[in-house]
Amino acid sequence: MVHGVAFGDAMGAPVEKLSAAEIRERYGRVTSLRTAWHRDGQSEDQRKGRVRGNGITTDDTAMTLSLMRIYEREGRHLDAWDMAEGMVREIAWESRWVPELQRETPLIERLFYPEKWIFQRLQLSACDPRQGGVGNMVNCGATMYIAPVGVVNACNPRAAYDEAINFAEGHQQSYGLEAAGVFAAAIAQAFVPGTTLSEVVQTAYDLAHDGTRTAIGEIVAAAGELARKGAEADEVTDTFHRLIAPFSPMGDNVSHGPEKAGLATAAYQPSRLLSIEELPLALGFCITAGGDFRQGVIDGINSGRDTDSIGVMVGAILGAMHGPSVIDEDDAELLDSANRFCLSESADRFTTAAQAIIQGDEEAARARAAQRAAIFAQDKKEAAE
């Protein structure tokens, strides 16, 4: 799952914010981690001092690893107070190598405004952690890094949904928050031994609410039909974008500029009718790829727009389903070297923490079962008397 996050992120990063048509015009089709960033050749100011391409990951992976470290430190399930303490520490007060900036620095120096808001709201404003979330300022927000919640709740999608909502309400609200819960649930279901992609998708649909549920339903239905007839990638992308348009304010123009001042505000307000687009699209690309890990990521990131986050969601779901078979040795080595981390070691440490948390859950469940059995036994005794 961890390699799936990083691979999908690094695959999508060079083409993020391009439309599908712009990707086709510039690249033909992106199929490798060894891809140059579309902003290469621009000035440092235009690039905001960042570098991408050839395996470099973005904030999606960095915040996923941050969440994993919080679980490792705490050794328990998390809630909004852990967002206020653990995530604030991770993004604002810990210096680590930030690949896009090519230097050690607090992650907040790289984050977009909505993720910086975690620090501003929860530390500088000292608000109640449960009220830290503000709107849907970023299209996918907490969903891009929430996959570890699905791991510590492996095989228990409802618990994963609830914990993701409890934790991420310190970051977002409304349909951005809803998607985080649904994505975590999909990851939890993906870990069920022998589960099918249909079961993962059905779990996501069953637990989703409001516009998120409707959007998933429409994309999934179309994806099944497209898969049956063997539709080409361009037709899949065009169909998905047409269907997601009523739910998502994004469109092909994902950059903010002065021309959008005062115009996009309503689209980012809380809504029961809207959905972020990345999660429904990611589920759709999983289906049209027939559950194939690499094909799903490639199809997703070539669809344009928020490509790195779509890649993360496809990669995490199918990585959790298929396990180590998805990891190409050359890709794993490039990811480690380009980003100065060791994903296998990070995954091992997190696995140890997740296993301990799950074991604790099982022991607590057995204790509750024994207590309930004692109640029933007492009831029977009293009834007999």
Please report the pLDDT score of residue 263 as a whole number: 60
CATH of 2-350, one of 1.20.140.10, 2.40.37.10, 1.10.1740.10, 1.10.4080.10: 1.10.4080.10
pLDDT at residue 266, as a whole number: 56
**Residue range 237-250: average pLDDT?**
93
Q: Identify the CA nearest to 63 among candidates 14, 119, 11.
A: 119
Q: What is the 3-state secondary structure (H, E, C) of 71-97?
A: HHHHCCCCCHHHHHHHHHHHHHHCEEE
Look over the chain and give the mean of its residue pLDDT values, rounded to a whole number. 94
pLDDT(80) > 80: yes
Hey, where are the domains in the chain? 2-350
Cα angle, residue 267 at apex, residues 263 and 271 outer, rounded to 5°: 155
Q: What is the pLDDT of residue 249?
A: 74
Name the pLDDT band for 134 (thresholds 50, 70, 90): confident
Helices within the chain (DSSP H only): 2-12, 20-27, 59-74, 80-82, 88, 113-119, 147-152, 157-168, 174-190, 197-207, 210-229, 233-244, 278-288, 293-301, 307-322, 329-339, 343-384
Residue 139 has pLDDT above 90, yes or no: no
What average pLDDT does the segment 316-341 reach? 97
The pTM (predicted TM-score) of the whole model is 0.96
Query: Taking the CA atoms of the chain, what radius of gyration do you get in angstroms?
Result: 21
Whole-number pLDDT of residue 215: 98
* pLDDT per position as a tens digit, 349-360: 999 999 999 999
**Contact in structure between 24 and 62 (CB atoms under 8 Å):** no
Quote the pLDDT of residue 251.
79
138 has pLDDT over 70: no
For residue 341, give the amino acid letter. F
In percent, the amount of the chain with pLDDT more than 90 equals: 87
pLDDT in tens, 195-214: 999 999 999 999 999 999 99
Of 116-130, 229-243, 260-274, the one with minimum mean pLDDT is: 260-274
Confidence grade of residue 192 (pLDDT, cut at 50, 70, 90): very high
Closest listed residue to residue 67, CA positions, set 166, 167, 137 = 167
